[in-house]
Amino acid sequence: MRIEAVELVRLQLPFVSPFRTSFGVQTGRDVVLVRVVGDGVEGWGENVAGEEPLYSAEFVEASVLALRHHLVPRLLAAGDITPFDVARVLAPVRGWEMAKAAVEAAVLDAELQRQQVSLAQWLGGTQRRIPVGVSVGLHDHIDQTVTAVNRYLEQGYVRIKLKIEPGCDVDLVRAVRRAIGPDVMLQVDANAAYTLADARHLARLDEFDLLLIEQPLAEHDLRQHAQLARMLRTPVCLDESITSVQVAADALALGACSVINIKPGRVGGLLEARRIHDLCQANGVPVWCGGMLETGVGRAANLALASLPGFTLPPDLSASSRYFAHDITRPFELVDGCLEVPTGHGVGAVPDPQMLRDLDATVERLRI
């Protein structure tokens, strides 16, 4: 298809409650959506960059510049393209995986509207309903985390992920494990907050039968993750470190992890995400779909990805109401602990124009 115009749609969406991780507190999202128009169809993609460069180097303000000055002009100049061409067209620009992923998702959405097929079907998804997990942020007191965890379990979530940081780990996990019993799936996420010197301390988590510990060390510490993995019984999962299928292959070869969290935004798009899935599936490595506090636009695309057969662990894909009083798309709702994979053409979730107006979304239109 030929992309005739691209819009950058920007809006502020507050959270129902603040979300705290080892790298900071977030009270809402500064959302950038990419809308592409061409061949009589439109497509939407979500840029998941955060407001500050704390999770990774990419952040919203800068990724808008990358989109406006470097990525969108290349897309508009590319002529007739398929979704497979997007990554190649954008490759000369280094970095900006989240911005690139938003562009690719928007082109995929538009192309699949044209082909009248859903993203899940096109990707090769096999699951229609996905049992989902929830990510629980840090609180000031352990009791508050336990209360939040109990509330999420009552709502039906099948797996709990606890954010941890130095000073808020072993006692927290012990209290939560005691409260929920031995059978509920439980995992922790450090967001790169530890060093290898903490290895003996982190080994104290082994007794709580965790599914995994996610990203204990810094992004580039693959060799040190391999050393740590040998010292823990808890499986090590990587998130921030895995920025491409090539890094995934290196990490597995080094023994840096035995599980991978796949996020399309972190790896530059849904197609690279699927390559990581395929690599892991071929090597018997379990994967799960991570989340970046997406609106319905990104959530729908993640659900399609998470419907692929190798996604054997529950994703960080909660109901829209976990984060937002009003999502910008139709809300995703939990039914018996599951979210339904969208079946509409393309990504299967479109922003509601009235919601965009109510939120004073700004629209910047770029064309050749």
CA distance 171 to 177: 10
Q: Residue 242 Cβ, how far from ligand NPG at the closest point, in Å?
A: 12
- Contact string 170-199 vs ligand NPG (x = CB under 6 A): -------------------x-x--------
Largest pairwise CA distance in the chain: 60
Q: Residue 268 Cβ, how far from ligand NPG at the closest point, in Å?
A: 16
Using CB under 6 A as the binding criterion, the count of chain residues that bind ligand NPG stands at 14
Nearer Cβ to ligand NPG (110/292): 292
Report residue 340 as tokens: 């339904």
Look up tokens 């479109």; give the residue: 350
Report residue 254 as tokens: 């080094």
**Can you tell me whether residue 55 is helix, strand or coil?**
coil
CA distance 322 to 292: 13
Residue 192: phi, psi to the nearest 5? 70, 25
Map the footprint of ligand NPG across residues 313-342, applying CB under 6 A: 316, 318
Nearer Cβ to ligand NPG (75/303): 303
For residue 196, the Cα-to-chain-centroid distance in whole angstroms is 26
Which residue has the CB atom at the shortest distance from ligand NPG?
Answer: 291
The torsion region of residue 277 among left (phi > 0), alpha (psi -120 to 50) and beta comes to alpha
DSSP 311: B
Look up tokens 């109401």; give the residue: 321
Contact with ligand NPG (CB under 6 A) among 135, 145, 187, 234 = 135
Nearer Cβ to ligand NPG (127/321): 321
Q: Residue 78 Cβ, how far from ligand NPG at the closest point, in Å?
A: 30
- Return the exposure string of 122-152: e unless at least 16 CB atoms fall within 10 Å of the residue's CB, then b: bbebeeeebbbbbbbbbbeebeebbebbeeb
Binding region for ligand NPG (CB under 6 A) out of 122-130, 220-228, 249-257, 285-293: 285-293
Binding region for ligand NPG (CB under 6 A) out of 60-68, 272-280, 288-296, 338-346: 288-296
Q: Residue 51 Cβ, how far from ligand NPG at the closest point, in Å?
A: 10
Q: Is 291 in the site for ligand NPG (CB under 6 A)?
A: yes
Cα–Cα separations (whole angstroms), residue 155 to 150, 329, 334, 346: 9, 21, 8, 29
List 29, 100, 161, 163, catalytic entry? 163
Binding region for ligand NPG (CB under 6 A) out of 203-211, 267-275, 286-294, 340-348: 286-294
CA distance 31 to 295: 8
Binding region for ligand NPG (CB under 6 A) out of 62-70, 72-80, 116-124, 289-297: 289-297
Contact with ligand NPG (CB under 6 A) among 8, 193, 256, 292 = 292
Sequence-ordered strand ranges (E) for the chain: 5-21, 24-38, 41-47, 129-131, 133-136, 159-163, 185-189, 213-214, 236-238, 259-262, 287-289, 338-340, 362-367
- Contact string 297-316 vs ligand NPG (x = CB under 6 A): -------------------x
Looking at residue 65, its amino acid is L
Binding region for ligand NPG (CB under 6 A) out of 85-93, 140-148, 197-205, 284-292: 284-292
Nearer Cβ to ligand NPG (118/191): 191
Cα–Cα separations (whole angstroms), residue 152 to 16, 216, 327: 14, 24, 19
- Contact string 227-266 vs ligand NPG (x = CB under 6 A): ------------x---------------------------
Nearer Cβ to ligand NPG (159/345): 159
Active site residue 263: yes
Catalytic residues: 163, 263
The residues that touch ligand NPG, with contacts defined as CB under 6 A, are 21, 50, 55, 135, 189, 191, 239, 290-294, 316, 318
